Amino acid sequence: MILALTWLDARMSFEIAALIATWLALVFVTLIALNLHFRMMRLERDQAEMNHRTAYAHVHGRQLGPWFAEAGIPAPRYIFLFSANCETCKRLIEEFNSLSWTERSVIAWTDHPPPLTTVLPAAVQPVDRGARLAAELRIRVTPFFLELDEDGRIVRAAPATSLSALRPSYEATRIPVHPTAR
């Protein structure tokens, strides 16, 4: 009988120890989960703050009117920065004609300008000061576009992949003609 009581005592102390270990494990898992939760909340908050800053924010609001006055050309609505060996740049140049582009634009090469095999629309003017402009604006990506407002300030800047992606902004800036005014 004493052996049975000792065995029960040993079993009870083992069960108590297992219960304590289980509760400690649950407490540790809860602490780990809370720590991960708070870290995730902090990361989401930091990410939200970063999303409020726009890409190429150093370019936004910059006045380019004097730059074009110095070059002797009127300020365009769009500036496209291309490089000579860029296949996407060549595709975008061909895209000017396919979209019947009528918005005053400037094409500037960040390196040497290649010979153009495509006739550009009258609204698109090539200039040879792209390397200087890209250096001043710290733009290292081509193809790249800049959208200017009426005062010659940059309102939008991003890498360009397609001219049709610019279409919504381009169409929104056009003044609608009333049907009776035609």
pLDDT tens for each residue of 61-73 = 888 877 777 777 8
Report pLDDT for 1: 52
Q: Cα–Cα distance between 134 and 83 in angstroms, integer?
A: 11
pLDDT band, residue 30 (cuts 50/70/90): very high
pTM for the full predicted model:
0.62
Please give the mean pLDDT across all residues of the chain: 78
pLDDT in tens, 40-60: 888 888 776 665 566 677 888
Structural Rg of the chain based on CA atoms: 32
- Report d(CA 144, CA 77) in Å as an integer: 14
pLDDT in tens, 145-164: 889 888 888 888 888 888 87
Q: What is the pLDDT of residues 55-99, one digit of tens each?
A: 677 888 888 877 777 777 888 889 899 888 888 888 888 888 777
Q: Sort strands 105-109 and 124-127 into parallel, antiparallel or unpaired.
A: parallel
Residue 170 confidence class, pLDDT cut points 50, 70, 90: very low
Q: What mean pLDDT do residues 112-138 have?
A: 82
Pairing between β-strand 144-148 and β-strand 124-127 as defined by DSSP bridges: unpaired
